[in-house]
Amino acid sequence: MARVASMSVFGCIALLISAAAAAYAQGAEGSSLPTVARLQYDGGGDWYANPSSLPNLLEAITERTSLRVADRPAEVRLTDPDLGDYPYIYVTGHGNIRFSDEELFRLREYLTAGGFVHVDDNYGLDESFRREIRRLFEDRELVEVPLDHAVYQVFYDFPNGLPKIHEHDGEPARGYGIFIDGRLALYYSFQSDLGDGWEDPTVHDDPENLREAALRMGVNLFLYALSSTPSG
């Protein structure tokens, strides 16, 4: 089970996170608090899967940290003018995902400007997602995120990396990423299914320890997204 990071380390990180959250609150149009935005995409995949997951994650962030966040997630397309207002874009689904050339341009622009995207394979997204990533960055590859990376330590400590929530193919959970100028800009949770663990307890009947691990990892991801984003 993950441990809470040491208070001395978290104290420094909390200042960065609070500053980033304040910057988003000042810069976002039509919203005063940071939130997670679910990405609506084309291709046939169920981008809307796990409807209770993000509200539960936001509730956990509010209850466990000093951050004030919105109580509801947003929905956004890559072509929406307010895309840059969201510090954390969440992508999930079971099927095909397909981006237009314009959407790829906007996604590349969002990531290089400091945005953070979390792609959470809900079993069935992997093949099409990897295809679109090759279109997005021809000169970059998904690489395994090192276990000593801040995303595994920012609030809760995950010494073994991404927790395994659902069995899927029985393979170990793997956390991959795209790095831009040394910053983890895109995180891909594979063979884990964090979103299922964030859902209401009665949806999947996950054991409490697995649901807790999923929520803790989600808190880390959100806090990392805020702390790693330029505030200027």
Burial class (CB in 10 A: 0-12, 13-18, 19+), 209: exposed
Residue with tokens 């089970």: 1
Q: Is the pLDDT of residue 153 over 90?
A: yes
Supply the pTM of this predicted model. Answer: 0.89
Note whether 165 and 209 are within 8 A (CB): no
At 5 the three-state DSSP class reads: coil
- Alpha carbons 199 and 192: distance in angstroms, whole number: 14
What does the domain layout of the chain look like in residue ranges? Answer: 3-227
232 has a pLDDT exceeding 90: no
CATH class of 3-227: alpha beta
86: CB partners within 8 A, 6+ apart: 28, 34, 35, 36, 37, 74, 76, 115
Whether pLDDT at 19 is above 90: no
Give the pair of three-digit tokens for residue 204.
């999947």
Q: Is the pLDDT of residue 137 over 50?
A: yes
pLDDT over threshold 50, residue 162: yes
pLDDT of residue 32: 73
Average pLDDT, the chain: 89
User: Residue 205: what pLDDT?
Assistant: 84
Query: What DSSP assignment string belongs to 42-96?
Result: BSS--TT-STTHHHHHHHHHHHHSS----SS-EEE-TT-TTGGG-SEEEEEESS-
Say yes or no to pLDDT of 222 above 70: yes
